């Protein structure tokens, strides 16, 4: 009696499937790690930016409180509004400042001053932002 050899591919298919599954999990884990690292770096930058902005706002509020008594007795005049403008810049970063300007308020207004400008300004004209996408061009 002759026995025919039994060829089985079940063990090989399971091994290939297991290898594919492990490689997929490793790939997704690496992508997750890279993405979470990028999110962490971005959140650190945003935290530093927020701290710098609110520190400058705090200094600007102190500046306004310091000059508010001087504006109490000054009357508002449309023609001389630029002469009575009190302005100052507060540093946010090496390229940006918070520019604040105050003027006396109108006579019919209850407040003693009016904020003419409260603006974040980028001062370096040589600042080049990279807004390109790494796309293959033909």
Q: What is the pLDDT of residues 73-86, one digit of tens each?
A: 666 555 555 566 88
- The answer to whether 66 and 86 are in contact (CB under 8 A) is no
Residue 1: inside a domain: no
Residue 136: inside a domain: no
**Whole-number pLDDT of residue 110:** 67
Q: How many structural domains compose the chain?
A: 1
SS3 33: helix
**Whole-number pLDDT of residue 53:** 95
Residue 5: inside a domain: no
DSSP class of 109: S
DSSP 10-62: HHHHHHHHHHHHHHHHHHHHHHHHHHHHHHHHHHHHHHHHHHHHHHHHHHHHH
Percent of the chain as helix, strand, coil, to the nearest 5: 45, 20, 35
SS3 71: helix
**Whole-number pLDDT of residue 63:** 92
Residue 55: inside a domain: yes
**Whole-number pLDDT of residue 52:** 95
Count of C-beta atoms within a 10 Å radius of residue 49: 13
Tokens describing residue 7: 């060829």
Q: What is the pLDDT of residues 83-125, one digit of tens each?
A: 668 899 999 988 889 999 988 877 666 677 888 899 999 887 7
Residue 137: inside a domain: no
Segments forming the whole domain that contains residue 79:
15-122
Confidence of residue 2 (pLDDT cuts 50, 70, 90): confident
Most confident of 19-23, 105-109, 134-138: 19-23
Residue with tokens 């400058």: 56
């Amino acid at each position: 009696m002759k026995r025919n050899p039994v060829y089985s591919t079940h063990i090989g298919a399971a091994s290939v499937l297991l290898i594919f599954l492990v490689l997929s999990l490793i790939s997704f884990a690496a992508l997750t790690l890279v993405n979470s690292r990028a999110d962490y770096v971005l959140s650190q930058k945003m935290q530093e930016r927020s701290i710098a902005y609110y520190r400058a706002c705090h200094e600007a509020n102190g500046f306004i409180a310091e000059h508010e008594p001087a504006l109490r007795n000054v009357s508002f005049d449309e023609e001389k509004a630029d002469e009575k403008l009190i302005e100052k810049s507060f540093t946010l970063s090496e390229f940006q400042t918070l520019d604040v300007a105050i003027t006396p308020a109108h006579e019919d207004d209850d407040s003693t001053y009016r904020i003419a400008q409260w603006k974040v300004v980028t001062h370096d004209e040589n600042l080049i932002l990279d807004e390109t996408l790494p796309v293959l061009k033909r």
